[in-house]
Amino acid sequence: MIGVLALAAALIAGSTASANAAAVYDGFFRGAPESDLKLRFVKHDGKRYLDFLRYERVRATCDDGSPTQLFGERSFGRREVRVRRGRFEFAQESSPDDIFRIAGSLIKGQQKAEGTFRYRGEVDGRGVCDTGRLEWVTYRTS
């Protein structure tokens, strides 16, 4: 009887773990194959959320006209960026010179996500730098 209970407990624990497993997508910004974008989605209570993103080697232009590459990451609160009908969006604009936006869609049946990204903000004493509106594509890796 104890063996049956242990097996049942293991099966329940395994199904809970897989239901809450993270889905990681890795890709790049269109027109910039050297760039990198990583997204992580998690499920809470059967609902999917964007949990984390990291971007690397993202082209931007600063107010003085000089080009730069941006690197950054952001963790979102447990229920901050909900995926509804395969779509998600996060926007934070504290001023015209401080903008962070990401929006996208999970493409059903293709293990793929795509969307848009924009960052505008102060960068290491170089003044305000802006990526403009960039398109991205990612593919599920786990």
Residue 9: pLDDT above 80? no
| 100 assigned to some structural domain | yes
Query: Per the domain annotation, does 94 fall within a domain?
Result: yes
Using DSSP's 3-state secondary structure scheme, residue 30 falls into coil
Strands 98-107 and 87-95, bridge-based pairing:
antiparallel
The neighbouring-strand residues paired with 93 are 99
Q: What is the mean pLDDT of residues 18-27?
A: 81
- CA angle centred on 120, ends 126 and 38, rounded to 5°: 110
pTM score: 0.81
pLDDT per position as a tens digit, 60-104: 999 989 999 999 999 998 779 999 999 999 999 988 889 999 999
pLDDT bucket at 3, cuts 50 / 70 / 90 = very low
* 127 Cβ neighbours under 8 A, 6+ residues apart: 62, 63, 64
In a domain, 121, yes or no: yes
Give me the pLDDT at residue 20, please: 61
Split into its structural domains, the chain has a count of 1
Q: Look at the chain and count its residues.
A: 142
